[in-house]
Amino acid sequence: MMQKKTVAFSKESANLFFHLLTRCNLSCSHCYINPDQHGKNTLPIDTIQRWLVLFAKKASQTNLIFLGGEPTLHRDLPAAVKEAKRLGFHSITIDTNGFLFHDILKKITPAEVDVISFSLDGATSATNDAIRGKGSYDAVISGIHRARKKGFACSMIYTVSDKNLHELSQMPELVSSLDIDRFFIQVIGMRGKSAGAGKKTQVSKDLWLSVIPEVARTIAQTGVIVTYPKVFLDPEETFACAGIVADNYFVFPNGRVYRCPLCEDYPLHAYTIENDALVPSPPVNETHLFELTIPEGCVMNKIIQPDNLDYLADGEPAHRIACCMLKQEIHPQP
């Protein structure tokens, strides 16, 4: 038996996606980091600590995710983790490409970090490494084994595109061999390199719906919690925007703070951190767009990545796009 549910937005919880730097040792073909918009600097540890305090009013209700670039390239990541733990954040995750630089596993403990999340975009090294870079497949597999040996909880993120959808059905066997706790399926966003690639890499609605839910169920049968984006709303479902209903913050090293990840390629950020304070951006920013209601569902999707929309002969949308933060979860039942 398995339990499938839609994870509803709530003001009772928050997510803080904290980019410590934009530098990375890899050059993934779908990387969403845009140096022109996100900066090229690495935050010093004293700035990281002050910015964590800035978001600590709801620390006990906030899930904190440290990202980059590659966050383990930051020498002071252990100190950032310890400060976040001291401030009482609800959960702390490190999102890594698997290389685990600076002996990070020797400098933090499972008591300080709730999850180490590894990105893998292929069931084989040939497919994954063509997307993420040579040696990255082996680094992830090795990194997971090393982290599990030290007692860390681990998860995996698989970003689906037309380059790797064909191998998603092979992931249940690999996942079951790795002793991970969660498996996340992501839809590729048309941001950063993906936006500039000149070719649509997102899979169609029919392909998504015919493949993703079934693979998610199969992986959940191995005892792993599976999370994937809703993407397409059912006819009876009401559209809701996380930018209005929930507290999600995407913080970049240049001080920009977004509420919607789809906006990150543009200077539409809701806030800027100035003198360790959240300063609202002048109009028009993303928060003004969240209020718009359109038949297609997500207004940001319509503006920024409209290629995944289809229309009927009368001009009405053939389907509606959910907020990108709306997730489906499948929990294995004991």
pLDDT in tens, 58-95: 999 999 999 999 999 999 999 999 999 999 999 999 99
Q: Which two tokens stand for residue 211?
A: 């493949």
Question: Residue 3 in contact with residue 328, Cβ under 8 Å?
Answer: no
- Which residue's structure tokens are 């690639």? 197
The pLDDT of residue 9 is above 90: no
Tell me 56's DSSP state: G
pLDDT of residue 5: 67
Q: Give me the percent of the chain exceeding a pLDDT of 70.
A: 96
The closest of 18, 330, 6 to 175, measured between CA atoms, is: 330
Kindly state whether residue 119 falls inside one of the protein's structural domains.
Answer: yes
Give me the pLDDT at residue 179, please.
95
Could you give the CA distance from residue 331 to residue 334 in angstroms, rounded to a whole number?
10
Sequence letter at residue 17: F
Is the CA virtual torsion 143, 144, 145, 149 positive or negative? positive
Res. 333 pLDDT band, cuts 50 70 90: confident
**pLDDT reading at 158 higher than 60:** yes
Q: Is residue 221 part of a domain?
A: yes
Residue numbers of the domain that contains 195: 2-285+322-332
CA atoms within 13 A on the CB side of 160: 27
Domain-located, residue 301 = no
Structural domain total, the chain: 1
125-150 mean pLDDT = 98
Domain membership of residue 164 (yes or no) is yes
Mean pLDDT of 231-247: 93
Within a domain: 9: yes
Burial of 19 (0-12, 13-18, 19+ CB in 10 A): buried
Look at residue 300 and tell me if it is in a domain. Answer: no
Pairing status of strand 14-19 against strand 62-67: parallel
In a domain? residue 241: yes
Full-model pTM: 0.95
Q: Is residue 256 part of a domain?
A: yes
At 122, which CATH number? 3.20.20.70
